């Protein structure tokens, strides 16, 4: 993490095994979420640079993450992936709370 005011590194976050492709702070500033080409989402404590949760594997994306966004209440991160799925994850528990695939979205009339 970089402090632009002081032109200095504050923290270095280590954990993803491939390129970090997206990231966001929770609106309350208490957590950072990062997505990677390693198909994982990490939820970080920005002060300690420690990973609080790592979400990957069964029930989550099978290909690299392309985007993520936090909800305004700082409780949920929504991530999109090259595998054409969208997942919602509770940032406090690290649990996937909802998911939708492109195939499922098409059944509801969504189009690209």
Which residues on adjacent β-strands are paired with residue 9? 2
The answer as to whether 40 is a domain residue is yes
Could you tell me the residue range of the domain that residue 36 belongs to?
2-107
Which residues on adjacent β-strands are paired with residue 40? none
The answer as to whether 29 is a domain residue is yes
Q: Distance (Å, rounded) from C-alpha 100 to C-alpha 80?
A: 10
- Backbone phi, then psi, for 54, in 5-degree steps? -125, 120
Q: CATH number, domain at 70?
A: 2.40.128.630
Total number of domains in the chain:
1
Instruction: Give the number of other CB atoms < 10 A from CB of residue 76.
Output: 17
List pLDDT tens digits, range 1-40: 777 888 888 777 888 989 999 999 999 999 999 999 999 9
Longest dimension (CA), the chain: 51
List pLDDT tens digits, range 65-102: 999 999 999 999 999 999 889 999 999 999 999 988 77
The answer as to whether 112 is a domain residue is no
The answer as to whether 35 is a domain residue is yes
The answer as to whether 56 is a domain residue is yes
- Backbone phi, then psi, for 106, in 5-degree steps? -65, -35
Is-above-0.75 flag for pTM? yes
């Amino acid at each position: 993490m970089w402090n632009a005011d002081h032109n200095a590194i504050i923290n270095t976050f280590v954990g993803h095994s491939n390129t970090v492709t997206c990231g966001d702070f929770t609106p309350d500033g208490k957590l950072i979420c990062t997505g990677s080409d390693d198909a994982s989402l990490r939820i970080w404590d920005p002060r300690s640079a420690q990973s609080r949760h790592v979400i990957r594997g069964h029930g989550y994306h099978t290909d690299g993450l392309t985007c993520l966004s936090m909800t305004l209440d700082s409780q949920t991160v929504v991530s999109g992936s090259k595998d054409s799925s969208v997942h919602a994850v509770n940032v406090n528990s690290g649990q996937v709370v909802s998911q939708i695939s492109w195939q499922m979205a098409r059944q509801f009339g969504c189009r690209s």
